[in-house]
Homo-oligomer: A and B are copies of this chain.
């Protein structure tokens, strides 16, 4: 029996950090051995330091771990990072420098030319950038691999499916994003109860640029970004979990609607431990996807798509949804780690 890889979590007490711990409990390949957080939490054990907000109980073993400072002296084989952007870049580089594979959910390094921005079902081959990254940055064994913004993950897979099958010319997206996306304490009740806030700091630029990198081509040791343009409007809505995206797309060719549906349902990727049975779950009901009913599809790892219609201004429109702290954050990073293990970049 293979031993599990030891995992350290940077930013372990936050909303995404807690999801890492929840999702890694009983994971066959990984085991959390180190939890790191800001100075405020140091010296406490995890149970004391974290305001555990998930409905499943905090695993007792993790609760007893001592919270450590964010310094690259951890006893672990890989590191998951959900650090705030302000400190992520330097911390993640420091860990990679010290030899740790860093699988990051932070936005800090995502758009760096030598950092893979990966969704396993779409662009697993972008891991090839790691070689360049090690050369450029003088990393020996360590590296940084990132996953996209939580809203981008909601619609990148449908876009990839359409891009592969028909070519994508332009995209208009309006997001309705859950409050857990802002972490804890995050969004005050007084801001979002009986309300919508049509602004999320830094979100629209990410949504308008990350997909083109993910759907880009690795040519030599560079990513040539996809050329379609995206228009994004991002809203915070009073929903706990689950980002919903209303999408309109202009394609290079104009397929029949049943072919669009087929392309969406047919799109898939490598079968990793946390992979959903089907990446895109297509719902025929006229009122789906809905955050409360669909966010937990396939343990929160599937993307649910529905309301596919021809469009007056674009070619087609549809609605996509995914769980923002699972498929959109902690689960995305874990899937990347599973991909890295599968491809021999970590473990062994």
Spell out A's residues near B (CB within 8 Å).
15, 53-56, 170-172, 174, 176, 179-180, 184-199, 208, 229-231, 233, 235, 237-240, 244, 246, 248, 286-296, 306-307, 311-314, 317, 319
Contact = CB atoms under 8 A, between A and B. Distances in A.
Given A172-B172, A198-B288, 8 more contacts: A176-B235, A187-B189, A193-B193, A193-B194, A194-B292, A199-B286, A233-B248, A233-B317
Contact of A238 (B55, B189, B198): B189
A135 B286 CA distance: 42
B238 A287 contact: no
Contact of A193 (B54, B172, B208, B238): B238
Contact of A199 (B189, B195, B294, B307): B307
A198 B231 contact: no
A179 B171 contact: no
Contacts of A287: 197-199
Contact of A196 (B176, B191, B208, B314): B176
A193 B189 contact: yes
What is the count of identical protomers in the complex?
Answer: 4
Nearest to A314: B231
A229 B189 contact: no
A293 B190 contact: no
Nearest to A306: B198
B184 A190 contact: yes
B293 A195 contact: yes
Nearest to A319: B198
A154 B286 CA distance: 25
A312 B208 contact: yes
